[in-house]
Amino acid sequence: MPFCKMPVSLGGETVLDVGCGYGPLAFGTLPLVGAQGEVLFCDTSPGLLEHCRALASKLEVLDRCQFLAASADDLALVETNALIRAALGGFRINSEGLF
């Protein structure tokens, strides 16, 4: 089952998409986090992040998105009080590891 169709509620959560590319997982997650949640788009390509930013603006969801130019190795620099869940293919991680 694709991540975007998973029957889960992430209302109010912060979701981190590592290696977001053009953003299909990140944009698909926005409905799951709802109006109180946010999605962090993370990629090493400034061009891909700009594409995602432009699309988020067009979709009028820019206020629920953040864009981070970083590699997975740099993610230790991300500080937040919110639970961060990452969608990396078929598994998910949070600050305590894989689950």
The confidence score (pLDDT) of residue 8 equals 63
Q: Per-residue pLDDT for 41 more than 90?
A: yes
Domains and CATH numbers, the chain: 9-92 (3.40.50.150)
Q: Per-residue pLDDT for 81 more than 90?
A: no
**Cα–Cα dist 4/32, whole Å:** 8
The confidence score (pLDDT) of residue 86 equals 45
**Cα–Cα dist 62/97, whole Å:** 29
2: pLDDT confidence band, cut at 50, 70 and 90?
very low
Q: What is the mean pLDDT of residues 55-83?
A: 78
Cα 33 versus chain centre, distance: 10
Q: What is the mean pLDDT of residues 15-23?
A: 88
The confidence score (pLDDT) of residue 63 equals 96
73: pLDDT confidence band, cut at 50, 70 and 90?
confident
Q: Per-residue pLDDT for 35 more than 70?
A: yes
